[in-house]
Structure formats: structure tokens, C-alpha cells
Structure 1
Amino acid sequence: MAKTNLPLEFLLLALLATLWGASYTFIKIGVETIPPVTLIAARTLIAGTILLAVLRCRGIKLPRDAATWKRFLFQACLNSVVPFTLIAWAEQTIDAGVASILNAATPIFAFLLTALITRHEAASARKLVGVVAGMAGISLIIGVEAFGGLGDQLLPQLAVVFATVCYAGAAIFGKNFRGLDPIVPAAGSLLAGAVLLIPASLVIDQPWTLAPSAQSVIALVCLSVFSTALAFAIYFRLIQTLGSVGATAQAYLRVPVGVSIGVLFLGERLSDTIWIGLACVVIGVAAMTIPARRTRAAIAERG
């Protein structure tokens, strides 16, 4: 079995974090004049078509059996249809930086699902500390409004948290595509997602009546090409090389990216409480995803 090239995988992890960190700003600009369902329908269709073209250029065909496409469809619901739409809807009212911070909890939920359902990893004390710290961070970010029950931002923030749970489930379910070229499940799941979203867009938004701005269109193109097509190809590779929890480690790397872009280009500002919540989330996720020294050698030998 070939050894995993960890420096290369960590470089790809950082690239994935950057691509997905930028996606929150692209979405924020996109939903200014493009409704969420239509934005995400176009995102999945464009990205899936690009990856399909890449597969054809490489002489690789998508599977034709119904069982594999059912898995693509389920993966699409977990990894694009539901979370993409929820985040786009939420960013109509919340900042891109806040969405990035809340979404950073993906490894926390991936660990909880693994520990409570799949149980293929030991629930160490260090990881338990990470879960507690991460949950504390989420509570600090949405806590004031959650406890008051009257905050205008509570529902969209909870929508992003639910999207995060979906991402965690997608990372675990994505292991079922081991053995396939990483672009195959990326393209298949995106195209399956487009099949679900396009009819919804036609009914809900009637996209032929829209007049999107040039900025929103450019943001949609960047979101589709870089933060979806390229990002998904990298993501499915990392699931195979680093595992489901390891692949979600980019979540804490993308937080500074997403927050910084939102602050620099959108003029967003974060409260002191949100900064504290950000610190707790990053600490929590890092505690669960950075391998202990005694296990690093074993990880380096995995193929």
C-alpha cells in the first residue's frame, strides 16, 4: 500500500480551507441579487458540469448503476443541497464571517457522529475537551440571542449550525466512495444535487424574471469554479487520504480566511463575544484533529 504524502495532503488541506473560506464572501455577494435556491442550483450545475468535462477529458466515465447514484444523491443532500442552501439563505441576514465561524464546528460534529454512531475511533479525553470547547464557542456566538429567544439572527445562525451537522455527516458518508477517482463522487454528487435544485429554483424563484448584478454573477462563477468544483475534487481526495475527521480539519483553517475576507472586503465587524467564541471553536477543533505525537508515525504510514 502506497504511503500517504502528508506534506502534499496538508498543502491541499490548506488550499481547501482557503477555497471554502472564500465561499462565504462569494455567497454574501451572490445573494444580494440572486435568491438562495437559484444561486445554489446554478452553483451545483456549473461545478458539476465542469467536473464532468474534466472526467471526459481524462477518459473516465461516471458509474451507471442505480446503487451508486443513490449514494451520490444522498451525498448531495448532505454535502450540497441542504447545507449550501441553508448557508446562502442565512447569509441574507448574517455576516459572512459569522457563517464561517459557525461552520468551523464541522469536525466537532464529525467526531460526535463517529463516537456515538460509527464508533471507529476512541473518544479520548483530549477530543472530549475539544468537543466542550467547540460547543462553548458556538454558544458564545449565538448564546445571547438563543437564551433571549428574541434575536433576529437566531434562526439563520441555527441554520448554519444545522448545515455544519450535514457537512459532518457527509464527511463520514463520503468514505463509501473509497476506490473511486475523487472527481467521480464530486461530479456525481454535484450533478445529483443540481437535479434536485433546478426544479425548485424554477418553481420558487422563476429565475427568468431576475436581474442579477454583475458582481453577483462574478461571485457565482468564482463560487462555482473555485469554491465548489476545485474544492470538491480536493475534498474527496482528502477523505480517502486523511479520513473523514482529518478532511474536516480544514474547518478551523478556513475560519481566519473567511473572517479576514469578510472584514477586508465587506467591511464586517465582529463583537468581542464572537471573537471569544471564535477562539473556543478553533481550540476545540484543533484539539480533535491535530494527531498526538505517538500516532503521527502511524498516520504517515497509512495509504
Structure 2
Amino acid sequence: MSPRAWILFALSSVIWGVPYLFIKIAVDAGLAPAFVAWSRIALGAVLLVPIAWRRGALRGLRGRAGAIVAYAACEVAVPFVLIAIGEQYLTSSLTAILIATMPLLVALLSVRFSPADRPTGLRLLGLVIGLGGVVVLLGLDVAGRRDELLGAALVLVATLAYAAAPIIVRRRVADLDPLGPVAASLVVATVALLPAGLTALPHGVPGPAALGSILVLGIVCTALGLVVFFQLIAEAGPSRASVITYVNPLVAV
């Protein structure tokens, strides 16, 4: 990878390792998972849309509505909600370990949908070894309770959605200014999840820990994180970009 790609990789590794902790804090503080997901997405949209508008980044989206909706579903709406629900039953480190299966899923999807990024047998072996290393380093503490298994299943579905997102970027919108697709996808996800967010509004003013978590999730993990990761996908390809999930668990712990 180029020096720029390595910088983007390092930034993404840290930024995408942080959410699991703050989602856990917000949910444990009493905020509903649907509200946590919707509020971070809405905050990210409020921050990025004006910037994208001023830069003219939204003009390039004409004719790509389908790609934006698919990206919004796979990168934002579906995983944010499922992970927030799943983390009610899982630790943040276990959540990160489950999401570390993403590179393998990206590799498998690339065989069919992104031939240019089709992995070699050696790379697949390396991905399996890398995932094994993550599990060994962090330990796989699974009690096998029904609620824990449900949480794990939800996070794995979210991971499959995450795996599809970089391929959508690579095939359909990698040539655009990242601010345009990211801002538009956040608007789509905000509108799509609005009913769920409104039905899950907190009864009172959230405490400092919950509010702080939402701010970090919206500003750093959503607005900044999506833009940086989008650039990494365009620079290094979906397979290499997804390997950040091998580093995320170390941050999540």
C-alpha cells in the first residue's frame, strides 16, 4: 500500500475500534439501541451535509441513487442498529472479535462481485491466521447463553452488511469525492431509521456518560470514520481496507 493508504489504515483502525465501547456505555446508561443508532447517524448527517454542499460534492451523485441507498443500508443503517442491539448481550471486545470476520466475508464476496479484488489462496490463508491471532490475543469468552447467542447472530449479520459496503464503494462510487456519498448515505439512513428513533426516545435528559458517548459516536466514529474509511477503500481496495477489523479489537478492549 502507498504511504497515504497506511495513514488512512492507521486512522481507520483506531476510529473503528472505538464505537463498541461507547455503544456499550450508551446502552448500559439506559438509551435504547435504536435511539443510539439513529442519533449518531443524524448527528453525522448534520455535520457532513453542509460541508458536502459547500464543496459541491453532492452534485456528482446524480444517477447513483441505487448505489447510495445500498451503501447506506450496508454501511450505516443495518449494522448500526444490529450492533447496538447485540451489544446489550455482548462485551465490546467480543463484538469486535465477531466483526473481525469481515475480511474473510469481503474476500468471499469479492470472488463473485469484485473480480479485481479476488483474493489468492495465500491471502485467504493469511486472513484465517489473522482472525485466529485476534481470538488468541483477546480470548473468546462465550458462555453460550441464549441471549448471548442472539447478540452474536445479530452482530454477524451486521458484519455481513459491513462486508458488502466496501464492494459497493469500489464498484459504484469510488471515483467521487467521499463527502458526497457519505453525507447522502447518512441522510438516507437518518430518514429510514427516523420512526424507530422516535419510538425509542429517552424519557428524560440522558446523563453525561450517555451524551458524551453519542457525541463521540456521531462526530468521530460516524462522520469522520466513514469519510476516512471511504478514502481507504478507494486507495487500497475493499479487501485490504477491511483488514482494519483485525486491529479494531485491540482498541475496543
TM over 0.5: yes
Within a 5 Å distance, the mapping from 1:104-123 to structure 2 comes to 104-123=100-119
Equivalent position of 1:201 in the other structure: 197
Q: Does the residue aligned with 1:31 lie in a helix, a strand or coil? A: helix
The offset of 1:129, in angstroms, is 2.0
Q: Give, in whole Å, the separation in 2 of the partners of 1:192 and 1:122.
A: 30
> 10, 13, 18: which one pairs with 2:14?
18
CA contact (8 A) 1:142 1:157 kept: no
Q: Answer yes or no: is the 8 Å Cα contact 1:87–1:160 preserved in 2.
A: yes
1:134: how far off?
6.4
Q: Which residue of 1 aligns with 2:206?
A: 212
- Does residue 87 (structure 1) correspond to residue 83 (structure 2)? The answer is yes
Q: Which residue of 1 aligns with 2:221?
A: 227
What is the distance in 2 between the residues matched to 1:174 and 1:210? 39
Partner secondary structure for residue 116 of structure 2? coil
Cα distance between partner residues in 2 of 1:247 and 1:117: 16
2:22 is paired with a residue whose SS is helix
Contact 1:172–1:244, Cα closer than 8 Å, also in 2: yes
Pick closer, same or farther for the CA change 1:58–1:20 going to 2, 3 Å: same
Look up the equivalent residue of 1:54 and give its one-letter code.
Answer: I
- Residue pair 1:114, 1:121 contacting (<8 A) in 2 also: yes
Provide the rounded CA distance (Å) in 1 between the counterparts of 2:197 and 2:19: 20
User: What stretches of structure 2 of length at least 5 have no aligned partner?
Assistant: none
* 1:281 corresponds to: none
CA distance in 1 between partners of 2:184 and 2:227 (Å): 11
2:45 matched residue in structure 1: 48
The CA deviation at 1:70 is 2.6
Larger mean CA deviation between 214-223 and 30-39 belongs to: 30-39
Distance 1:199 1:52, change over 3 A: same
Residues 38, 122 of structure 1: CA spacing in aligned structure 2 closer, same or farther, 3 A cutoff? closer
1:7-49 superposed Cα distances (whole Å, 9 cap, x missing partner): 1221111111111111111111111221111111111111012
Task: Provide the alpha-carbon RMSD of the alignment.
Answer: 2.3
Aligned residue for 1:153, secondary structure, equals: helix
Q: Describe the shift of the 1:122–1:195 C-alpha distance in structure 2 as closer, same or farther (beyond 3 A).
A: closer
Measured at CA, do residues 219 and 64 of structure 1 come closer, stay the same or move farther in structure 2, by a change above 3 Å? Answer: same
Letter aligned with residue 181 of structure 2: P
Query: For the residues of structure 2 that align with 1:230 and 1:249, how far apart are their CA atoms?
Result: 19
Q: 1:276-301: CA deviations, max 9, x gaps?
A: xxxxxxxxxxxxxxxxxxxxxxxxxx
> Which of the residues 33, 36, 54 maps onto 1:36?
33
* Equivalent residue letter for 1:223: L
CA distance change for structure 1 residues 62 and 222 in 2, over 3 Å: closer, same or farther? farther
Alignment of structure 1 residues 161-180 onto 2, 5 Å: 161-175=156-170, 176-180=172-176
Following TM superposition, where does structure 1 have runs of at least 4 consecutive aligned residues deviating by more than 4 angstroms? Answer: 131-138
CA distance 1:168–1:153, change in 2 (3 Å)? same
Q: Structure 1: which amino acid aligns with 2:182?
A: A
For 1:235, the aligned partner's letter is: F
Change (3 A) 1:51 1:28: same
Match of 1:287 in 2: none
Matched letter for residue 193 of structure 1: A
Contact 1:69 1:188 in 2 (8 A): no
**Deviation of 1:119 (Å):** 3.4
User: Pick from 152, 157, 163: which aligns with 1:157?
Assistant: 152
